[in-house]
């Protein structure tokens, strides 16, 4: 028996409809990139999985209404971003504190353990950014979106994306040191 073969009917969709087949194909090709983006936004592997799951649930409910199948990836990223921002607003998130220790000096690039440590250091530094700055930095520099695409995803002006990105990078530079950040964003 194939997975997803027994799908419940949602909003009048039959289990074997063309919409379901397209949705399952979308899930198969998009789960990994959405999970990477969710991890960069949240900094937590388990929360990233929950965010992707919530995103896909919302997408499934909206799937029959999505007319432009070419833009579904951008829509999915926008839904994922909204799920993450909603999660950040939850009251228990405000009580948590992460005590990441940022080292004084960068580890040489030829050290594989140092590369893992660098990624963890950047993740901890990203955790310290406000949600809008973090989203702008992740979308612009790690997901390689243009200013226009990032503005569309965040539902703000291009000027806001530029200022949030600049403030986020400045905060990361202050936390990490300018040299480490320049190497990571190239």
Spans of all domains in the chain: 18-91, 107-185
Mean pLDDT, the chain, rounded, equals 78
User: SS3 for 100?
Assistant: coil
**pLDDT tens digits, 67-120:** 787 789 889 999 999 999 888 887 665 544 454 555 455 545 555 444 455 677
Give residue 5's pLDDT: 44
Q: What is the C-alpha separation between 33 and 38, in angstroms, rounded?
A: 9
CATH class of 18-91: mainly alpha
What is the C-alpha separation between 116 and 122, in angstroms, rounded? 10
Q: Report pTM.
A: 0.54
Flag whether pLDDT at 17 surpasses 90.
Answer: no
Q: Which CATH class is domain 107-185?
A: mainly alpha
- At residue 144, what are phi and psi to the nearest 5 degrees? 60, 40
Cα–Cα distance for residue pair 169/171, rounded to 1 Å: 5
What percent of the chain is predicted at pLDDT more than 90? 30
């Amino acid at each position: 028996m194939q997975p997803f073969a027994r799908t419940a009917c949602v909003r009048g969709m039959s289990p074997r409809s063309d919409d379901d087949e397209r949705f399952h194909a979308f899930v198969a090709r998009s789960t990994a990139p959405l999970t990477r983006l969710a991890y960069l936004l949240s900094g937590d592997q388990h929360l990233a999985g929950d965010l992707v799951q919530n995103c896909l649930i919302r997408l499934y409910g909206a799937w029959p209404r999505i007319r432009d199948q070419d833009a579904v990836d951008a829509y999915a990223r926008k839904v994922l971003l909204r799920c993450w921002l909603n999660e950040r607003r939850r009251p228990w998130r405000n009580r948590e504190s992460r005590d990441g220790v940022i080292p004084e000096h960068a580890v040489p690039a030829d050290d594989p353990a140092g590369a893992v440590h660098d990624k963890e250091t950047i993740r901890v530094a990203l955790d310290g950014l406000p949600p809008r700055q973090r989203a702008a930095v992740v979308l612009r520099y790690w997901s390689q979106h243009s200013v226009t695409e990032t503005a569309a995803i965040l539902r703000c002006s291009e000027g806001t994306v530029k200022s949030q990105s600049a403030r986020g990078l400045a905060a990361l530079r202050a936390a990490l040191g300018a040299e480490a950040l320049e190497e990571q964003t190239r």
